[in-house]
Structure 1
């Protein structure tokens, strides 16, 4: 709409200025004639020189306006970019400052208070005190929002405490070099993040300088070596985007190997098995138990069955340690941990009964679906046989398919195209009137010159009004059709993406980034078939045919 308004005002200003220029120039010429000036001070040639100079200057100025707009956008973008560049992080992982120590693994929390910057009014830790000796396995459990994952983040120094201290081997964590600290910490999260490279490369991301022997050793320690050897390409197997080619348990063991390859002194496990089924959980848990040997290990767990062998179990509630001890000690105490374990055992029994019922129902549904699928290939083959040539023809004629896609907005496009033709006719009309004005100025009768030039000036004014209104309307209608087309195409593409089989997403051209680009860029580019370009084409045809 704003584009239409600006173009409409521009056309009105252009033709109105034409009329005003000819009318005022004619008055000056008539004045020179009536004053019998010799030679005349104002002639038709003077008027044309000024007219075309102003016209060319205005045209050149119009050509530069997009560049001023681009400079303005660049300044705005640069302001945001430089603000980020000049932002000095409070915790700089690339800084060379701070102590570099060989960590043994003793971790202490001393009266730690903490809340997240995004929620300053919600306290997470309230005077937390915690000790972990080198090589000890500490399990942390408690209600959601109690600060379990926060402890993991504070050890990595993603945040600084509001009050209190986090000590590593007796050193305040704020005094240590951040990069050196994190190099000696291994982390395995709930959802492993794998990249679309080989298994070897994904493991080596934990220690870029590692060789193949170190990668293999890390895989063995993570109980991943056997299943990797059973793959066709072994360590050269591509895992797919986000590890789509591997099961949840396999991805988690790759993530464990990636954490172990750097030989960390501290191992942080943040609900590493919560997203796995019971069978995969047992395999991964065995890998985690093996990985924690000789390392200070912090385990954040939802399933209490995975932390029974921990050296110390911490029960958090409202940011404080409510209970601490081994599994058996806490069970005997019959406190918070005992109630959590009892409730969880009941839930697991109910889940087993429900899962058995679900499996039975799915088996019946699968059998029915298999019977119905048997009839599909014949119908598909028949459809391909009848429509194969048509499909090929449509592939070879994408313009026809594009035209079909804009048919819902055909009335908008037809009316807008008619308006574009009319606007295009203003150019030959201007040429005709311009020639007539030159003929009038050659007449020696001053009264005749004034009458005729006034008539043509009013015609120019009318042309400006009509062209301005039509320019606005055609831009508005083209804009509506363009937005509708983009919406329909994005909707259709998104629906088609959702209906594809999983194997389709494994193809290199169908990655998440490529699909997002198609939804964002390609569908927007289709606007070129119905937008301002179509308007220019219609006006050009109108000018040539006139």
Structure 2
């Protein structure tokens, strides 16, 4: 039933996750049109589906657990009732029946704990199927047995190429495309958005294969060439900055072994040597999405171009960004194209769209490097020349702007749009662009940076503080009626543990009666009482899990709406931080609110259940014999302390493993995000080696973690058995000194034994939920 409801609600849950992700991904558009209220309303409306789904799950959980525990209690009553016939026929005595009963109960508890892992087994099977499917998948483009040209001239030709992407086979990208690029010539592809300019370079790199036609290098079809050798002949700069979570040295030399002198020379060509040298660790600085801003990523974009040995490179390609959303372009790229080392190879260059008239048909320009974008050759066979409006292109004017020294103390007071500022106010109006341009200029490390870092660290420490428990309670005040009904069910179910033990002890006492009539009456009466408790258990579990589930789901829905509203109250620059990306925030909305439910409603349910069990056990123990009750009561804090210490022990090791898994996933995220760079430089083995090193660290830490879990669980079990041993010893001591009779001592021990087992298991479950 649970699986059927899950599959029925999956489409609604997917739409719920997409709603905040879309809103957070386009916050600038959302803020520009002041549609925050509409986004909040849409998200609140979509949350109603998950609210209904959560309530349905609570209903299934309450009925499922109720019938499970009810049948277990009824089976216990059946075993005790059958035991009466064994005692009557002298086939067993009371001690053997109780031993068999305890064996069945404890084995049932073990099976119950094992059953909670069945869901993990199913998830593991699904994940394994996906992994094996990916491993068994073979790429049709990989040709390790291809040819290699002895002498490469560098003549590139596209001959009658037809191409469509696999995801959109019905949309033609290139239809009968012809292009010839002679050696040592520079070509610029010009055209409107969607005309197929971006598809030329991937075809040359064999990221994709054309549907029909051929791509030739010196007259040889590139399908017949060895893929790794082909890509080693090509230098590529993609549209997006590719910055991996490695050191600056590893980023610049990505794909080959370069010396420090070569790396520094590449940085000087790209005008980044001064900036890198000003860093505290220089070229050993670890960079990535968290360390450098996007403007600095753009500054590192061409670094991998000049570090390659272009004396041996036959084809060199530069692909510029055509998106109108990226107003900042790397000013050093035109200079690098004019570099003497790059004039020995053919260059395919894609300028921004605004550089030419949008009405013109796509053109192919073949100018010399020193006079780029002149003497064009159009694709359509006409002789019409494209008009170049250099004064209308911000990218062409940007290198001509005067150098500006922006000091830290003035950066916060000046917006850069005054009459003396050469930067357009349209650029500084956007927080992301303002940050990118203001921090592009080189400047020394100042005291204000240290102050900002300390303020940020203090803010992070403040945000890491756990919220008070009463604040969570206030969020659930609107569902007080559900809390009352759930508390009644939890109290009833919790009190049944010592009551069941007391009734079982009465039945065991009745086994030793010599009057057969009294034996039959007492056993039948108390077995019927246990059966009634089993029926009431179904109702109690339904009340506990269903109504606490409703309270938790409503609180989760409220917390998600509050979190989403709080996210939309932040400025645009807040979303530029790595920790506040759209994917991360969507994950917080999906998971953190659920954790809040586990921290409050589930914990409150367990607390009321255990409190009721302890109170009833103490009352029964005090009425039977106060000495034994005090000793048994003294063992409960020991169990609580052991469970709490175990939780802290495991949490400390779990944080270390989670951090290692995060670092390992960063390697894969960088590779997937920059897949063009990884594939173009044939750096798959390098990525695998980096990932393998991270996995080795995880393996070592997991070994220690497993030892810690085993030690913690073993220590918890030791304390449980030690408490039972202490209680048994004091019971025997009291009976020896005539402080208590055997029947009373048996009842007392049974009550507190069941209470210890239930509360100890609850402490373990509570630590997991926490």
Per the normalisation by structure 2, the TM-score is 0.54
Distance in 2 (alpha carbons) for counterparts of 1:465 and 1:10: 11
Match in the other structure for 1:369: none
Matched, 1:151 2:197: no
Partner residue of 2:534 out of 445, 453, 464: 464
Partner residue of 2:251 out of 193, 202, 207: 202
**Alpha-carbon deviations, 1:184-207, whole Å to 9, x = none?**
3222223313245665543233x4
Matched, 1:476 2:546: yes
Q: 1:87 to 1:115 in 2, by over 3 A?
A: same
Match in the other structure for 2:293: 245
- What's the CA shift for 1:281? 6.4
SS of the equivalent of 1:91 reads coil
Matched, 1:541 2:608: no
- What's the CA shift for 1:214? 1.4
- What's the CA shift for 1:509? 7.7
405-414 or 328-337, which deviates more: 328-337
Distance in 2 (alpha carbons) for counterparts of 1:365 and 1:150: 31
Partner residue of 1:285 out of 334, 355, 370: 334
Partner residue of 2:309 out of 249, 263, 267: 263
Q: Contact 2:378–2:385 at 8 Å: present in 1 too?
A: no
- What's the CA shift for 1:127? 2.5
Matched, 1:427 2:497: yes
Which sections of structure 1, spanning at least 5 residues, go unmatched? 33-39, 308-313, 317-321, 367-390
Q: 1:79 to 1:507 in 2, by over 3 A?
A: closer
Distance in 1 (alpha carbons) for counterparts of 2:137 and 2:84: 64
Partner residue of 2:72 out of 14, 23, 33: 14
Matched, 1:173 2:231: no
Q: How does 1:53-202 map to 2 (within 5 A)?
A: 53-67=103-117, 69-92=119-142, 96-101=144-149, 103-195=152-244, 199-202=248-251
Matched, 1:301 2:351: yes
- What's the CA shift for 1:141? 2.6
175-184 or 50-59, which deviates more: 50-59
Distance in 1 (alpha carbons) for counterparts of 2:318 and 2:128: 41
Distance in 1 (alpha carbons) for counterparts of 2:465 and 2:326: 45
Q: Contact 2:365–2:377 at 8 Å: present in 1 too?
A: no
**Alpha-carbon deviations, 1:500-536, whole Å to 9, x = none?**
6788789898899987776666554444422544433
Matched, 1:222 2:305: no
Distance in 1 (alpha carbons) for counterparts of 2:140 and 2:427: 53
- What's the CA shift for 1:337? 9.3
Distance in 1 (alpha carbons) for counterparts of 2:597 and 2:81: 42
Partner residue of 2:260 out of 212, 215, 240: 212
Q: How does 1:330-349 map to 2 (within 5 A)?
A: 341=387
Distance in 2 (alpha carbons) for counterparts of 1:490 and 1:444: 65
**Alpha-carbon deviations, 1:167-186, whole Å to 9, x = none?**
22232212222222223322
Distance in 2 (alpha carbons) for counterparts of 1:361 and 1:100: 51
Q: Contact 1:239–1:245 at 8 Å: present in 2 too?
A: no
Distance in 1 (alpha carbons) for counterparts of 2:425 and 2:578: 37
Per the normalisation by structure 1, the TM-score is 0.73
Distance in 2 (alpha carbons) for counterparts of 1:544 and 1:450: 32
Distance in 1 (alpha carbons) for counterparts of 2:247 and 2:606: 51
Match in the other structure for 1:51: 101
- What's the CA shift for 1:153? 0.8
Q: 1:289 to 1:230 in 2, by over 3 A?
A: farther
SS of the equivalent of 1:20 reads helix
Structure having the higher strand fraction is 1
Q: 1:283 to 1:202 in 2, by over 3 A?
A: same
196-205 or 275-284, which deviates more: 275-284
- What's the CA shift for 1:424? 0.7
Which sections of structure 2, spanning at least 5 residues, go unmatched? 1-57, 368-372, 398-416, 432-460, 617-770
Match in the other structure for 1:377: none
Distance in 1 (alpha carbons) for counterparts of 2:87 and 2:282: 92
Name which structure has the greater RCO, CA cutoff 8 Å, separation 6+: 1
Distance in 2 (alpha carbons) for counterparts of 1:176 and 1:165: 13
Q: 1:522 to 1:397 in 2, by over 3 A?
A: closer
Q: RMSD value over aligned CA atoms?
A: 4.7
